[in-house]
Structure 1
Amino acid sequence: MGEVVALARTGTTAVPDVRRDRRELQISWHEVDDVFVISLWRAGRCTGTVRIGPEAAAEVIGALADGLAERG
């Protein structure tokens, strides 16, 4: 099996892990499938993905907003 290489994608948001260690979360919208793909990356390699629909994305956004509100 060949090496997996991260390609630049328009519309992809990359968020670095606070631990650094070349880890990041990437989020991209796939209009054809009507899903967001959330992927975990380490040292330029994808280590896992989750595909979520718009309703689940709204729940994730709500959870993030609630956490920020609690933080003050």
Structure 2
Amino acid sequence: MPAVRPLPQLGSIFLDARGEDRALRVSWHHESGLVVVSLWRENVCAGSFRLTVDEVPDLIDLLRSGLDRAYDAALGEREDPGDDRADTAPLYGIG
């Protein structure tokens, strides 16, 4: 089994909420114009996805939109706990 390579200068590791030694690793590779998102289980890479630098803003926009909706929903629950309405619009969109 190949050894785990250290993260480049710009990168981070996020631990999975389920535990069990699962993690998401994000690393910038400026020399090749890529951001690599990889899934890890213990010290083994289970899969990776390469985004071009030009695709990263769309991912950031999607994450920001989802976060905004989560905050709005949490705020709405605190303001009116009896409100049964739910925002059923998807967090993703086309166009």
- Report if TM-score (shorter chain) is over 0.5: yes
Q: Distance in 1 between matches of 2:5 and 2:53?
A: 24
Q: Distance in 2 between matches of 1:60 and 1:30?
A: 17
Q: CA deviation at 1:55?
A: 2.3
TM-score w.r.t. length of structure 1 = 0.86
Q: How does 1:1-72 map to 2 (within 5 A)?
A: 3-9=1-7, 10-72=9-71
Unaligned runs of 5+ in 1: none
> What secondary structure sits across from 1:32 in the alignment?
helix
Q: CA deviation at 1:52?
A: 0.5
Q: CA deviation at 1:11?
A: 1.8
Q: Distance in 2 between matches of 1:27 and 1:7?
A: 13
Give the root-mean-square deviation of aligned CA atoms: 1.2
Structure 1 or 2: more helix by fraction: 2
Runs of 4+ displaced beyond 3 Å: none
Q: Which residue identity does 1:47 align to in structure 2?
A: A
Per-residue Cα deviation, 1:51-72 (whole angstroms, up to 9, x for no partner) = 1012221111111101110011
TM-score w.r.t. length of structure 2 = 0.67
User: What is the identity percentage for the equivalent residue pairs of Structure 1 and Structure 2?
Assistant: 27
Per-residue Cα deviation, 1:1-25 (whole angstroms, up to 9, x for no partner) = xx13223223221011111111111
Q: Which has the higher contact order (CA 8 A, sep 6+)?
A: 1
Q: Which residue identity does 2:48 align to in structure 1?
A: T
Number of residue pairs matched by the alignment: 70
